[in-house]
A and B are shown apart, each in its own frame.
Chain A
Amino acid sequence: MLDYRNVSLSCGGTLLLENINATFKKGKLTTIIGPNGCGKTTLIQALNGISKVTEGSITYNGADYLALSPGKRARLLSFLPQVRQTIPTLSVKTLVSHGRFPYLGFYRRMTDHDREVVQNAMRRAEIEAYADKSADILSGGVRQRAFIALQIAQDCECIVADEPTTYLDAPSRRKILGIYSGLRDEGKTVVLVLHDIESALEISDEIIVMNERKIVSKAAPWSIETADAIEDVFGYKIKRFEDEEGRYCVLTPARSV
C-alpha cells in the first residue's frame, strides 16, 4: 500500500538515502531498525516533506503520495516525529483534539463526532485522567502517550512513528508498543522506527534492517535473513528459547568488544 520506488534523497550535497525500495503492507506492522545515522529517520521523514526526495517516488495505493495536498496526506497517513523541540503548554485534551485538524472545515469547528474520536483516542492511550492537565507538566511516558492519542485521533489508515519509545522506561515502552500492535490488529498499517531490537522482533510482522543509507534486509522477524542482517549490522546474535510461560529472545554479542 505504501511503496518506496528507487528513492534517493540528498541534502546539501550529502547523500542521505540511496536507492530505497520498500513496500509497507496493508494491515501489517513493519519496524525499521539500524544503527544511529543510518537513515531510518530520513526514510520516514520523506513522507512529511521535512526531508525532500530527490529521486524516485513514493506511492500510496498506487497514487503519487508526495504530489497530494498536505491536507489529503494528513487524512491518509499520520506521522509522529521523534524529537519535539517544543513542549506545548496546552491541556492534553486540546493537544489531542489537534488530531482532528485535517477533517475540520473552514471554520475549524469540531463536531460531536470529532469530540467522540478525541475521547476514544484518549481512552486508547489511557490518558483520560490527564485530559485537563497541561502537557508540559506530564512525565515523559504520559506525554508520549498524549502525542500517540493525537495520532490516533487523526484516524489514518497508515500510522508512522519515529522512535516512539526512546527515553522511556520499560513499562512505558511496553504500553506504547501495545498501543501500536493493537492498532495493527484493527487493520491499520503501522510503520515504526525502533532502537530496541528485542521489542521490534517481538511485535513486528516485518523487519527492515538499514545500514549506511541503504536497506540491508526486509524479512519476517524470526527469519534467518533478519538474524543474519542483525548480526552483520549490529554485531549481535539472536538467541530464541521457549518455556511453558512463553517465547523469549536474547541478543548476545557476536564479537568481543
Chain B
Amino acid sequence: MNSSSTSSTRKGDRKVYLIILLFVILVAVFMAGLAFGSVSLPVSDIIKALSGGDKTSTASIVIRSVRLPRVTAGIFAGIGLSVAGVILQGVMNNALASPNTIGVGSGAGFFVMLSMVIFPAKIWLQPVFAFAGALIATLLIFALAYFADTSRMTIILAGVTVSSFLSAGINLLKTLNTDIAININSFLMGSLAGASFSSTRLPEAGIVIAFIAALFMARALNMLGLGEDVARSLGLRVGAVRFLLLVISSVLAGCVVSYAGLLSFAGLIVPHIGRKLFGNDARILIPCSALLGGSFVMLCDLLGRVLFAPYELPTGIIMAFVGGPFFMYLLLRRKGGRRINA
C-alpha cells in the first residue's frame, strides 16, 4: 500500500511500529473504557462478560449494556470525525477545514434537533436528518466558496458564516422547545452519555460504510491535492469526485452528531496529528487517522467519566481541554524545524 516503504525500509518500519503501537493503545483504551467508570471492574469480569460466559451478574450487565455500547460509540465517533476531517481538508485544500470549523457539525446538529422537535418518537430518523443537515451545510459552503472565489480564506469565511447561522437555528429551537427529550447541554458540547446499541446501531453502520468508501477514494483525494488542473489532466472527474467525497464526509460527520452531539475538535486535530506522524498520503492517512481518532475520543470519554466520578463531564469538554493544549504544543513545535513527515 505504501509505495515509499519498499525503497526506504527504515522510514517504512518506523511507520509500521507506530501503527502497531496505535493498535495497542486502542485496545488498551478500549479495555480501560470497559473497566473504569463509576465502579471499577476487574479484567477477568470484562473477559467473562465479552465472551458471553456470564450474562446475569451486575458486572456483566454494566459492561454489556452500558459500557460496551458507549466505548464502541466513542471509537466510531473518533473514526467518523477524523476521517471526515481528512476528507474536508483535502477537498477544500485547506488545513483549517474540519466538520466543526466549516459548519457541517452545526448543520447536522440543527437537523437532529429539528427531527427531535418534529418527530420526537422516531429516533431512527435522527441519523438520516443529521446526514441531510451535514450535506446541506457542506454543499452550501462549497457552493458559496466556489461561486464567490475558491481561495482558502473564502471557504473558511463561508464556513464560519454558515456555522453561526445554523447555531442560531439550534438556539432558536432550544428556546422555543423547552421540553426536548434530551439533555441539551450535553448535546451542544458533545457527549456519549446516552449511547446505547439501539440508538447507535444505524449511525455506526453508516460510519463503517462511509469509511470503506473513503478508503476507496483515497487515491482520488491525493490527486485533488495536486491541484484541480493536474488532477483533471490525469483523467480524474474532478467535480464528481469532489461531490462524492463531500457526501462521504457528510455521512461520517452526520452519523456522529446524531448520537454524540456537537463533539468538536477531534475532526480538526486528529487529522493534523496523523499528518505529522504518517505524512499526507491519504491511503495511509485515512486508516491511521481513524485509529488515532478512535483512541482519542474513547480516552476523552473515559477521562470525563472517571476524573470527577461519580459526576460525569461531557466528552466534548475533556476533548477541548486535552486536545487544545496538545494541539498548541504541536503548533509551537512546528515553528522550530521543517515538517516532521518529510
| Chain A residues with a Cβ under 8 A of chain B | 45, 48-50, 69-75, 78-81, 84-86, 88-91, 93-95, 97-99, 101-102, 108, 110, 131-134, 136-137, 147, 150, 154
Contact = CB atoms under 8 A, between A and B. Distances in A.
Interface in B302-318: none
B234 A74 contact: yes
A93 B3 contact: yes
B93 interface: yes
A147 B231 CA distance: 12
A97 B3 contact: yes
19 contacts: A50-B228, A70-B237, A74-B235, A81-B227, A81-B233, A84-B226, A86-B93, A89-B275, A89-B280, A93-B4, A94-B3, A98-B222, A101-B223, A102-B234, A131-B7, A132-B11, A137-B339, A147-B230, A150-B230
- Which of B4, B93, B281 has the most C-beta atoms of chain A within 10 angstroms of its own C-beta? B4
Given A90-B279, A94-B3, A94-B4, A48 B233 contact: yes
A75 B281 contact: no
Contacts of A102: 234-235
Given A90-B280, A94-B3, A94-B222, A101 B342 contact: no
Query: Which residue among B3, B228, B233, B338 has the maximum number of chain A CB atoms within 10 Å of its CB?
Result: B233
A108 B219 contact: yes
Nearest to A96: B3
Contacts of A154: 234
Contacts, number: 99
A101 B338 CA distance: 30
B236 interface: yes
A106 to B, nearest CB: 9
A208 to B, nearest CB: 21
Nearest to B224: A86
B183 interface: no
A80 B222 contact: no
Interface of B: 3-4, 7-8, 11, 93, 219, 222-223, 225-230, 232-237, 275, 279-281, 338-339, 341-342
Contact of B229 (A69, A81, A98): A81
B67 to A, nearest CB: 39
Contact of B8 (A49, A97, A132): A132
Contacts of A91: 4, 279, 281
B7 to A, nearest CB: 6
A88 B225 contact: yes
Contacts of B233: 48, 74, 78-81
A219 B236 CA distance: 35
B338 A89 contact: no
A48 B236 CA distance: 11
